[in-house]
Structure 1
């Protein structure tokens, strides 16, 4: 059974993690391969404008499959093998999402636990159901965030809040997630996907090529100097000024009409 159920409406792609019987666990199945493959396909598809990521059932994602971790108890499984399994497994997901220049909206329908929480942090925008909870719970099962959570979570909520969540493993509810900036809005459960789709349509109404460049600048800005980002911005702006969409946007503004983008 496929991990992702994918629907498309024009330039909007909705990917639903569809293994509620495992609480949409991200390991011990094809989740990593399917997420990485989807990112690569959308990266190469210039008609894709927005990706919405959500989960089926009452849970967004429980993260790593804890039962599957028992195989690491075997003395024949070496630390080096485990390192390589992480490098060639779950760690491919944050790298794939970081390379994806299509905006990603995460519609968090329920608990996002461990790697499930970190997956939300890999997305650009997070909208939560009022029943969603978030837990950086690795410490509770005696492991560390092996999927990049120690890099991702502090950038979403700040180092102090990320430290509190990582050191205690405690879950926070949707309202606390909103207060600390982990999500940008909280809506009733029945309004989650309609809200995500409405936002996706607003994003998709803009020029796709410029949207991708804007996302690249936002991502590059997290790790580069101001001078480096300004230079990259100048280069992207030179490209943007020469696009047909820019010409159409300026012409429509002057003519006081709605622009028609390709």
Structure 2
């Protein structure tokens, strides 16, 4: 069974997908509930400024539990008439939770991110890859379709044509290609992955929490909202930011530089 192990380093949380026996599969109800709970708890704690998501061992996540899929167990073993509800109340909770998280979510991709694992990486705000990372939108390879929102997230990361190539072939993309395609913001030596992710998270965490969370919400909403809607949201949020005592402190600091 895959768990979500959470550690805290100051204002930064590190969430580790940990399930050696299942390839860090993320389709179990227990993992999905743990991820959902972690999002809600981080949202409620203003001391949390950023979250790093990574995988234990040599893999980020294999996505679906292939053994359960083959044996028609778990979410894959229900009556076909119930499958829709299983997806909506199961794996589809992950994209809803990831986009609901108020603080920046940084994927530290330590190895293969396959199927739903690739999609989970695309749900993150920022992606840093180890040189050992790879990505595959592998659903059609096993005769199914992306059921977790991958067809929404992947094109926004790499563009429609490259997303189509990955989706229709199921081919793997290595870390160097992922960087060229804009799927990740950087590729680092494997042993430097977590330190690079921590360094980025710490730079983010230096900023005022309310402004940081509102800025993320604007970015998330801008994926699908019209310009006028984003302008209206920004106009409503800006007075709240101006009233935050942190704003006065930061402005005064900049004025004295």
TM-score (structure 2 length as normaliser): 0.95
C-alpha distance in structure 1 between counterparts of 2:242 and 2:10, whole Å: 25
CA displacement at 1:244 relative to structure 2: 0.6
Unaligned segments of structure 2, at least 5 residues: none
CA displacement at 1:170 relative to structure 2: 0.1
C-alpha RMSD of matched pairs (Å):
1.5
Contact 1:7 / 1:15 at 8 angstroms: preserved in 2? yes
CA displacement at 1:2 relative to structure 2: 6.4
Contact 1:117 / 1:136 at 8 angstroms: preserved in 2? yes
Tell me the equivalent position of 2:61.
Answer: 61
Tell me the equivalent position of 2:204.
Answer: 203
What's the CA shift string for 1:226-253, capped at 9, x where partnerless?
1111111111111111111110001112
Tell me the equivalent position of 1:248.
Answer: 249
Tell me the equivalent position of 2:125.
Answer: 124
Tell me the equivalent position of 1:171.
Answer: 172
SS at match of 2:13: strand
Distance 1:195 1:46, change over 3 A: same
Deviating above 4 A after TM superposition, structure 1's stretches of 4 or more consecutive aligned residues are none
Tell me the equivalent position of 1:157.
Answer: 158
Tell me the equivalent position of 1:260.
Answer: none
Contact 1:17 / 1:54 at 8 angstroms: preserved in 2? yes
The correspondence of residues 1-262 of structure 1 with structure 2, limited to 5 A, is 3-28=3-28, 30-69=30-69, 70-71=71-72, 77-256=78-257
Contact 2:2 / 2:20 at 8 angstroms: preserved in 1? no
C-alpha distance in structure 1 between counterparts of 2:256 and 2:158, whole Å: 43
SS at match of 1:143: coil
CA displacement at 1:29 relative to structure 2: 5.7
Q: How many aligned residue pairs are there? A: 254
TM-score (structure 1 length as normaliser): 0.94
Between 218-227 and 164-173, the greater mean CA deviation after superposition? 218-227
Distance 1:232 1:83, change over 3 A: same
Contact 1:20 / 1:58 at 8 angstroms: preserved in 2? no
